[in-house]
Amino acid sequence: MPSPSAAQQLAVGSWVHCPREEGDEYEACEIIQLDAASMSVSLRFSGGFVAAAVPITRIRLEPAPPTTAAAAKEDGDEEPRIVEDDGYFAAAALPTPPAAAELESDPEAKYRFVAAYKAAGNELFKAGKYAWAIRTYTGAVDALSRHCYPSRERMLWDYFARVPCAQCYSNAALCAIKLADHAHAAALCEHAMECRPEDGDLTKVLLRHGQAARLELGEVDAALPLLQRAADKEPTNRAAEGQLERAFASLLDCEDAQAAPLFQAVLRSKGSGGPSGAPQRLAASHAESAALLATFFEAKAACEAEGRDYTAPPLGTPLARFYLAHSTYALGRDRAYLREVELAGPQRVLNMPNGWQGRTISDGERKALSP
């Protein structure tokens, strides 16, 4: 820890060493706020992570790292990374943490504190200050944990604390997406999932996590299950459906050898679900697509292995991709088709092929529905 004389020399902008969480290794970070009354500081680490209300007893004094353009170029960066600090604390208007006595007399004070902190982040988001908003949202969770609970784990046991914490991380992930920092957005979504979000909050986290995974290095295989789960949680969520369709389109643009295994993985995870009807949909739709695709890819591989001149039939690949996409029935995407049938009336049912979704339409049913 710094000596008393050295502690008096601490200032905003000073560089020190401190662990992000208790038990972590020490790493360089910058002081962004000082609180003389509580003898604590707020620190910013690489990647934008902010730790609030850190006791000065946890920090080690270190010289500032090089910040010049020349030093940045030595590290291989074309330009030095500029962090906007001017005016942050005035713009953020962060709330004051409740004192221990206040928490003892009014346990609800901690919920008002994190709500006010989150509201400050919302205002920065509305103003387009996304980097500042990320700092505020993540700072809200950290400040709540440090000031109002004995540990982060204890905070996450409290349902009324978990909800705003998940919302803060989710909102921070949205800000990171807007800044095209998709890796950071995915990490923030993982933090949000640690807070066990529910209902609409869970849908937003899944959607943003899937969007970040899809955009970050084209990780479509990681994005599909997340986006599908978001779409399943809220079937009418247009954002989730739109992201899912774009992810499917990206996947279908892959080579056959890449696309098929990815779909197989998604279908296996969906088919292992509970009594929601997914296994029945798999039995009806995936069996057809798997059989036809297996025949198609085996024939293609045999031709290529024999070195024969191979020209795909005009409809070969499109049909294979059609049946691959047909597996979306097994992912619950048939809801739209069922709605169309309901709107169209019995004539659509008469036109259905036998065995659709594993159900055979009897002659008696066809006669009963005939005009």
Mean pLDDT score of the chain, rounded to an integer?
Answer: 67
User: Minimum mean pLDDT among 31-40, 84-93, 231-240, 255-264: which range?
Assistant: 255-264
Residue 202 vs residues 99, 198, 226, 232, 304: alpha-carbon distances, Å: 32, 5, 10, 11, 46
Dist. CA 367–CA 371, nearest whole Å: 8
Tell me, what DSSP letter sits at residue 50? E
What is the domain partition of the chain in residue ranges? 1-73
Pick the residue with more confidence: 33 or 268? 33
Q: What is the per-residue pLDDT for 214? A: 56
pLDDT(223) > 70: no
pLDDT tens-place string over residues 320-333: 555 545 544 444 44
CA-closest candidate to residue 187, choices 146, 129, 134: 134
Report the distance separating Cα 222 and Cα 219, nearest Å: 6
Kind of pairing, strands 15-18 and 40-44? unpaired
Give the model's confidence band at 53: pLDDT under 50 very low, under 70 low, under 90 confident, else very high. Answer: confident
The angle at the Cα of 207, spanning 247 to 121, to the nearest 5 degrees, equals 140
Q: Which of 151 and 306 is assigned the larger pLDDT?
A: 151
Topology adopted by domain 1-73: SH3 type barrels. (2.30.30)
Whether 293 shows a pLDDT value over 50: the answer reads yes
**41-55, 83-97, 104-118, 283-297: the lowest-pLDDT one:** 283-297
Render pLDDT for 174-214 as a digit per residue (tens, 0 to 9): 898 888 888 888 889 889 888 888 777 877 877 777 777 65
State how beta strands 50-55 and 40-44 pair. antiparallel
pLDDT at 2: 56
CA distance 267 to 108: 45
The pLDDT tens digits of the residues spanning 79-128 come to: 333 344 556 766 667 888 888 888 889 989 999 999 999 999 999 989 88
Higher-pLDDT residue of 344, 93: 93
In Å, what is the CA distance from 103 to each residue of 100, 107, 111, 116, 201? 5, 5, 10, 16, 27
How much is the pLDDT for 72?
A: 40
Across the range 331-339, mean pLDDT stands at 50
> What does each C-alpha distance from 98 to 4, 103, 105, 158 come to in angstroms?
27, 6, 11, 17
pLDDT tens, residue by residue, 129-142: 898 899 899 989 98
